[in-house]
């Protein structure tokens, strides 16, 4: 009975939250449409500020270090070693996470219900051709290091899966460390954190992938801005043809036909090579991305009973801008991934 009562309360809370979100979306739809992309952009800038600072900072030779924020690339060394709890890896620092994972069959997503975190670390040295420097570690941040994971699937009903995740730092690893250089008692320099800004530790491979991701985003930004302006133009400023008859075929195609077509063309494209592969897979990619970008917006517009003429123009804007982005930047993006 207690389980049923808890389930009933959770269900009621879920319905209340969904109802509240729908009310806000419908009431403030004309504010949310231009505002949400800006909020998302600000959040992206905020959440990636560490990565942006890391890749923008040029590595400093150890013999040229002065007090302040510097990035040092070198090989890790430390005297003490630890053994990780799950994978039994020998390392000089690690972050271990054991999380209970449940799955939602309705939206095909997974949720982390609870987690146990354990970590051990120590000061270590970075060595390269320009010298050797000590890194003082007060708090551990291995988020930009590759993770090793394993998920234990439960065969019992209503019992969560368990996911084990470990990130390690080992003797001999080549890493980048972004930290604050301070003088020690021997008039040498050490790297440490400063003003509550934790040390940033990454591998060259992670840095390379981050640089490529930002480069791709830079290529696509003009088209995202153009899409934003076009959608808002048709939403708020363009002349509107009143009472345009709603097309069921258009609705079915945008909601179901486009994603299905994208998946089919993507699968067919893998059977070809050269230009044929690029062309077919590209069209499939356009269909899938247009569906992904337009789905929440079209849902909101249909629920808000927006003029069908506006809905068609909004969808056409998303389709046109996505197609332009693919056609014009495809080679640039492909070249970004091809670069070693």
Domain boundaries, the chain: 59-202, 210-338
Q: Which two tokens stand for residue 220?
A: 């696509």
- pLDDT in the model for residue 19: 63
User: Residue 317 class from Cβ within 10 Å (0-12 exposed, 13-18 middle, 19+ buried)?
Assistant: buried
- Sheet strands (E) in the chain: 68-77, 82-83, 90-91, 93-104, 109-120, 124-128, 131-135, 148-152, 161-169, 174-183, 189-192, 200-202
| b/e code 12-38 from CB counts within 10 Å (16+ = b) | eeeeeeeeeeeeebeeebeebbeeebe
- pLDDT in the model for residue 23: 60
- pLDDT in the model for residue 11: 57
- pLDDT in the model for residue 20: 65
- pLDDT in the model for residue 242: 73
- pLDDT in the model for residue 112: 77
**DSSP secondary structure string, 309-340?**
HHHHHHHHHHHHHHHHHHHHHHHHHHHHHH--
- pLDDT in the model for residue 4: 41
Give pLDDT tens digits along the chain (340 positions): 443 444 455 556 656 665 666 666 556 667 777 888 899 889 988 888 888 888 899 999 999 999 999 999 999 999 999 999 999 999 999 999 999 888 766 666 777 778 899 999 999 999 999 999 999 998 888 988 999 999 888 777 667 889 999 999 999 999 999 999 999 888 889 999 887 788 889 998 888 888 888 999 999 999 999 999 999 999 888 887 777 788 899 999 999 999 999 999 989 988 888 888 888 988 999 999 999 999 988 888 888 788 898 999 999 999 999 999 998 988 888 777 665 4
Nearest to 136 by CA among 58, 198, 67, 64: 198
**Angle between the N-to-C axes of helices 29-47 and 49-56, in degrees from 0 to 180, rounded to the nearest 10:** 40
Q: 90-91 and 82-83 as β-strands: parallel, antiparallel, unpaired?
A: antiparallel
- pLDDT in the model for residue 15: 62
């Amino acid at each position: 009975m207690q389980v049923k009562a808890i389930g009933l309360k959770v269900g009621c809370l879920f319905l209340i939250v969904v109802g509240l979100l729908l009310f806000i979306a419908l009431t403030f739809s004309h504010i949310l449409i231009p505002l949400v992309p800006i909020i998302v952009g600000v959040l992206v800038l905020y959440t990636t500020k560490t990565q942006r600072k890391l890749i923008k900072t040029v590595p400093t030779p150890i013999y040229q270090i002065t007090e302040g924020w510097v990035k040092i690339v070198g090989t890790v060394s430390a005297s003490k070693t630890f053994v990780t709890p799950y994978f039994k890896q020998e390392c000089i620092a690690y972050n271990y996470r054991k999380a209970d994972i449940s799955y939602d069959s309705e939206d095909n997503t997974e949720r982390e219900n609870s987690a146990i975190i354990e970590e051990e670390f120590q000061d270590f040295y970075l060595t390269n051709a320009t010298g050797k420097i000590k890194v003082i570690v007060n708090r551990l941040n291995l988020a930009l290091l590759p993770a090793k994971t394993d998920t234990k699937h439960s065969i019992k009903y209503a019992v969560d899966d368990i996911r084990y995740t470990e990130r390690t730092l080992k003797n001999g690893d080549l890493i980048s460390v972004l930290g604050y250089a301070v003088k020690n008692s021997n008039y040498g320099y050490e790297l440490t954190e400063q003003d509550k800004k934790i040390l940033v530790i990454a591998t060259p491979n992670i840095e390379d992938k981050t640089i490529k991701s930002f480069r791709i985003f830079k290529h696509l930004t003009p088209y995202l801005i153009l899409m934003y302006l076009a959608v808002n133009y048709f939403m708020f400023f363009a002349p509107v043809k009143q009472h345009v008859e709603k097309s069921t075929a258009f609705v079915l195609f945008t909601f179901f036909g486009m994603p299905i077509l994208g998946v089919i063309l993507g699968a067919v494209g893998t059977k070809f090579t050269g230009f044929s592969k690029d062309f077919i897979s590209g069209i499939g990619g356009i269909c899938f991305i247009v569906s992904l970008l337009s789905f929440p917006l079209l849902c909101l517009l249909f629920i808000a009973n927006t003029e069908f003429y506006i809905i068609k123009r909004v969808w056409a804007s998303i389709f046109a801008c996505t197609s332009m982005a693919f056609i014009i930047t495809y080679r640039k993006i492909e070249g970004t991934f091809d670069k070693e």
